[in-house]
Amino acid sequence: MAHQMCMVCLDDFENFAAKHLNKKAFDYYRSGANQEQTLRENIEAFRRLKLRPRFLRNVSCRDLSTTILGQPISFPVGVAPTAMQKMAHPDGEVATARAAAAVGTVMTLSTIATSSIEEVAEANPNGLRWFQLYIYRDRKVTEELVRRAEKAEYRALVLTVDTPVFGLRLADARNKFSLPRHLRMANFEKLDIKSNRVQEAEKESGLNEYAASLFDPSITWKDLSWLKRITKLPLVVKGILTAEDAMLALEHGASAILVSNHGARQLDGVPASVEVLPEIVQAVYGRCEIYLDGGVRTGTDVLKALALGARAVFVGRPLLWGLAYNGEQGAIQVLQILKKELDLAMALAGCCRISDITSALVVKSTFYSKL
């Protein structure tokens, strides 16, 4: 699927995917929950933030590198976990992992990936890998996943807390979405058919049935403590949207919080993740690392999130569009564009290092209406 188009920004990749991916897959990737209010907000909320660039600061040498949980990455943008990437490209998660390694950042593998924990580790032996965890009703399944992630040298567990059940994405319901027959939930290959397939449901999306029957909606903060007990891997709590839950995450031993609304795919009507970032930054007050995902599409989006206090951001869909465009190479291109855009944005804003990006760099657009 290599192409000779002129891809100059991330939206070009989405447009490509819209034209070339099969509809079921594209819809699954693109959709937000219900009326997609939050999906639009994730993009628009960034537009309401305004940058206050500073000049004449010698920006000849920029250094975009930073660390997350102590591990170095070449720039503060990681790959968010997204399910079933082989629908975008036969190489799926393996391609994504290689792309992340190629540009020097972290790849987060989803529990419900179409490539297994081990395959991805092999494909990306030196890259930084995190494993995203959904907790299954059968705790042995969960524990087994943790063990395999440890063994395959994933460096953190990303516990997604916003998904006791799956949100309703209308297009998937209309399409009666299911995982194409030739694909498997690769982390469950050896398990029963129930957990390694997403079958066609009678009504709505097969994925909703999958999650409803397998995920455990009864988990509480105590399960975080349980996880902490069974593994030494640092825990990133993904999906926090309130200061209150951020405090609870801290109390229960989270090493980091990933502010996220799951790409607007769970509860429609929640604010953009970047809108809630400030209240969480304020509550956490430096006691753990804070990341953000949702709607990051340009270098200036990254700059804004960092200025508001995120240590790094993650991107979900753009990688899928990159895969759809050209597998590993496409995914690399996506990450490189973001990196270059961030580099340029930093230069134009007067920042040489990530630590130069402070809260003085960003204001809400309402700031100016008060002047």
* Interaction of residue 29 with ligand FMN, rule CB under 6 A: yes
Token readout for 110 is 């989803």
- C-beta atoms surrounding 348 within 10 Å: 16
Q: Which structure tokens are listed for 298?
A: 């340009």
Q: How far is the CB of 31 from its own copies (least distance, A)?
A: 12
- Binding of ligand FMN by 46 (CB under 6 A): no
Pick the closer one to its own copies by CB: 94 or 134: 134
Q: Which stretch binds its own copies (CB under 8 A): 15-23, 73-81, 117-125, 213-221?
A: 213-221
The footprint of its own copies on residues 135-154 (CB under 8 A) is none
Would you name the residues annotated as active-site residues?
A: 262
169 touches ligand FMN by CB under 6 A: no
Give the residue, chosen from 34, 38, 82, 142, that forms a contact with ligand FMN under the rule CB under 6 A.
Answer: 82
Q: Which of 218, 193, 197, 190 is nearest to 112 (CA)?
A: 197
Give the single-character DSSP code of 10. H
DSSP of 128-185, one letter per residue? EEEEEEPPBSSHHHHHHHHHHHHHTT--EEEEE-S-SS----HHHHHHT----TT---
236 close to 158: Cβ distance less than 8 angstroms? yes
φ and ψ at residue 103, rounded to 5 degrees = -95, 0
- Contact pick of 153, 189, 244, 251 for its own copies (by CB under 8 A): 244
Residue 221 interacts, among its own copies, ligand FMN, none and using kind-specific CB cut-offs from 5 to 8 Å, with its own copies
Quick one: which of 1, 18, 146, 348 contacts its own copies (CB under 8 A)?
A: 348
Nearer to ligand FMN among residue 115 and residue 260 (C-beta): 260
Structural element, H or E, at residue 25: helix 23-30
Count of residues in contact with its own copies, rule CB under 8 A:
76
178, 201 in Cβ contact below 8 A? yes
Find the binding residues for ligand FMN in span 239-268 (CB under 6 A): 260, 262-263, 265
300 binds its own copies (CB under 8 A): yes
| Residue 221 one-letter amino acid | W
Q: Which of 4, 19, 60, 190 lies at the binding interface for its own copies (CB under 8 A)? A: 60
φ/ψ of residue 241, rounded to 5 = -135, 5
Residue that has been written with the tokens 């949100």 in this structure: 167
Interacting residue with its own copies among 4, 8, 182, 193 (CB under 8 A) = 8
Cβ at position 213, least distance to ligand FMN in Å: 16
Residues lying near ligand FMN in the complex (CB under 6 A): 28-29, 42, 80-83, 110, 112, 132, 160, 238, 260, 262-263, 265, 293-296, 315-317
